[in-house]
Structure 1
């Protein structure tokens, strides 16, 4: 199986159609069809199922996709090892993270890393937590920094820590001087909540369900900075993870209050890489850098955070 055939095959898996893969690869659709036909003839099995929503890998296709990802990433590793002879002078690290890390933490970490290794470039993608893990699993990115409820067995967890929820309020809010709050406390005020595909929202909904409290948010958005500004201007209360608070609270006039409940500590943050893959040197060095940065940032404690802390 040639590299070109595997690359064409993987792009059809990602895009769900030969036509879309043709556009992305800038290769004629007929050439992609021929390569896939050759792969199917060579393996003696169909690699795709044609459905109304596009081309979906068959069981054989899923196995080949796993092999192809590791094969192509292995070639990148060879290139990396050759560059290793010259040190970390050049290279590309592909990272993915949630918006909570993308606004401040990740750009700062990249900037600090490049002070030491100025020849290393970065490609940063921002997505929902589950999408970050999927990109790691499928080899679209080298490193993922995301949130979850338990370690994911489909990826390698390089490092992780607790990401309990905190409530954000403006400096003049009636709750601002509390040492901590409960769901019942914040439910009495207008709420701004993140979108339902975020682990912060999912955990918040679980806590509400466990405590038998129904809430109706006045604002729902997938834009985190908007929620912080909502709290800062006195619009109401919002919730986010402590690790996010620690990385960016200095930018806002808000107070972050620990959210007390039986289940508020069940969320985690994780640095993830592809299971079974040896990372290129630049990516490995950046994992170490991220871990050290998180260890320095994530100080223990259950105290309010903000301008008065």
Structure 2
């Protein structure tokens, strides 16, 4: 059920797709109908909302501000429809969480299980996506909460907490680095490396550190998924890097902290949509995630 005005609905789709044609296809209406509604909005506000180009439309500053408001309204409208359909038990709802893989491996599922022990009527949707996609889903109201790594200021989300997460090397059991408290970047690079792709924040910072140290690397395995990296290390194929979220335990590998200041540029964040009123259950779960990230020893 659509609660937003038609003009705002059309505006949101044009902002998402960037063209009248694609918006019209998604909404199954004529492009001229969308154009008229956008024109009415611009006339009513007295400012242009889009810059028209030969290949599409991009938001003006005013359009970006309207988009942020419209996304909040869209998310709250969807929540209201859910609550009305749920009947008297308005707190029975699904909390949607988007996260990057490191968080989805243990810390978030454990938090969900613990939360449901106290709130058995709450259900979850967990989407494990790239770090940028997790943030995008909160910005657009697709997810209630994002838990992801970031580098640099975040302007389109409300950051509920931000913590520096150390980086650890994982090595096979019995490896000569096993049992060490810390290892330097140059020493780690003496071994066959299994790394994420250059699209990942950890790899981006690793490459910066390598350049600063004047090192040359040739990864023997490049993979963004954690499970293959762990198995590769277990089978003595090389060493790999993971974020130390305080949930590291026996996995057939040993962990050693990687000591280099370059990794301090990356933060783990819990993100929500600015200005959006989350339902009580999502607010409480957000608080639980903040507690776990700021006191990672309690993740188990």
The TM-score range, normalised by the shorter chain, is 0.7 to 0.9
C-alpha separation between the residues in 2 aligned to 1:2 and 1:295? 38
Structure 1 equivalent of residue 266 of structure 2 = 267
Equivalenced residue count is 296
Structure 2 equivalent of residue 173 of structure 1 = 175
Question: TM-score by structure 2 length?
Answer: 0.84
C-alpha separation between the residues in 2 aligned to 1:23 and 1:248? 47
Give 1:170 deviation, angstroms.
Answer: 1.0
- 5+ long unaligned stretches in structure 1: 300-309
Matches within 5 A, 1:177-196: 177-196=179-198
C-alpha separation between the residues in 1 aligned to 2:16 and 2:248? 34
Structure 1 equivalent of residue 38 of structure 2 = 36
Matches within 5 A, 1:8-157: 8-25=10-27, 27-30=28-31, 31-51=33-53, 54-75=56-77, 89-150=91-152, 152-157=154-159
Structure 1 equivalent of residue 202 of structure 2 = 200
Q: Deviations over 1:158-188 (max 9, x none)?
A: 1232211111111133322433211111111
C-alpha separation between the residues in 1 aligned to 2:7 and 2:125? 25
C-alpha separation between the residues in 2 aligned to 1:242 and 1:191? 18
Moved more, 182-191 or 75-84: 75-84
DSSP-derived class of the 2:198 partner: coil
C-alpha separation between the residues in 1 aligned to 2:147 and 2:87? 29
DSSP-derived class of the 1:181 partner: strand
C-alpha separation between the residues in 2 aligned to 1:81 and 1:2? 16
Structure 1 equivalent of residue 293 of structure 2 = 294
Cα contact 1:147–1:269 (8 A) shared by 2: yes
C-alpha separation between the residues in 1 aligned to 2:244 and 2:227? 15
Q: Deviations over 1:219-245 (max 9, x none)?
A: 2122222222221211111111101xx
C-alpha separation between the residues in 2 aligned to 1:285 and 1:298? 20
C-alpha separation between the residues in 1 aligned to 2:270 and 2:223? 25
C-alpha separation between the residues in 2 aligned to 1:140 and 1:185? 43
C-alpha separation between the residues in 2 aligned to 1:2 and 1:89? 23
DSSP-derived class of the 1:216 partner: coil
Q: How large is the Cα RMSD of the aligned pairs?
A: 3.1
C-alpha separation between the residues in 1 aligned to 2:247 and 2:154? 24
Moved more, 182-191 or 121-130: 121-130
C-alpha separation between the residues in 2 aligned to 1:177 and 1:163? 20
C-alpha separation between the residues in 1 aligned to 2:269 and 2:259? 23
